[in-house]
């Protein structure tokens, strides 16, 4: 399993999810994607996208920045069944 990083900083809804959808088609099942974004609504949008597409939302952490906080969101693409 690999970890991929998506830089969605500065993008507004729905672009972080669209970029995530495009990247998810290029990675392998079980891979992780870390999304960096500045759009405060992206966390809920990505949670919904994960639920609909049966991916696992792992965590979201806000990283303080002087101008805008940056959220680091981690998901797993189609996680293997336990």
**Which residues are known to be catalytic?**
13
Per the structure block, which two tokens stand in for 57?
């939302």
| Cis peptide, bond prior to residue 14, ω within 30 of zero | yes
Place of tokens 């969101």: 73
The answer to whether the beta carbons of residues 38 and 30 sit under 8 Å apart is no
Place of tokens 């405060």: 40
Closest CA to 36 of 68, 67, 74, 65: 74
């Amino acid at each position: 399993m690999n970890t991929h990083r998506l830089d969605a900083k500065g993008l507004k809804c729905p672009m972080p999810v669209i970029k995530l959808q495009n990247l998810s088609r290029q990675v392998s099942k079980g891979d992780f994607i870390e999304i960096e974004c500045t759009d405060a609504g992206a966390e809920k949008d990505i949670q919904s996208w994960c639920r609909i597409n049966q991916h696992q939302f792992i965590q979201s952490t806000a990283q303080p920045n002087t101008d805008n906080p940056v959220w680091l969101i981690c998901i797993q693409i189609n996680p293997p069944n336990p």
